[in-house]
Amino acid sequence: MEQKILALLDAFLAFLSGIAPGAIGATVALAWRKGLTWRERFTQLAVGIVVSWFVGRAIGAIWALDPFVLQGIAFTIGMIAFEATPRFIAAAADVAGTIPATLRDRFLGKGGEQ
């Protein structure tokens, strides 16, 4: 039982060390932005962490870089992803708003007429 707890703790610490650079990058970007709601802050922080995690891993799989270089890249990606989040959400909302009309036109003809 004790070995399982140690293994879980080790996995959790490895996970935290993996997301730390992106989280710090997104947090630094967050410090410069004023007037955001807590929901916007959390969303942008989460996006910065997730994007930096996956992109950092992809870059590490493609190029054999030093781990410190990868952490710097993840930090930068976290900052960039944080800044891009509002524009991405706005663009995704615009596209999502046109989906029902596009589907209607596609399957029922223009304007819903058959």
Q: What is the pTM of this model?
A: 0.62
Q: Which two tokens stand for residue 80?
A: 């960039």
For 5-26, what is each residue's pLDDT tens digit?
999 999 888 888 878 887 888 7
Tokens 């959400």 belong to 89
DSSP annotation of 64 reads -
8 is written with which tokens? Answer: 């879980």
Q: How far apart are CA 19 and CA 78, in angstroms?
A: 10
The burial class, CB within 10 Å (0-12 / 13-18 / 19+), for 39 is exposed
- As a residue count, the chain comes to 114
CA angle 110, 90, 44 (to 5 degrees): 150
pLDDT tens column, 29-63: 777 778 888 888 888 788 888 888 888 888 888 99
Q: CA angle, corner 80, sides to 75 and 84, nearest 5?
A: 150
Q: Which two tokens stand for residue 103?
A: 């589907």
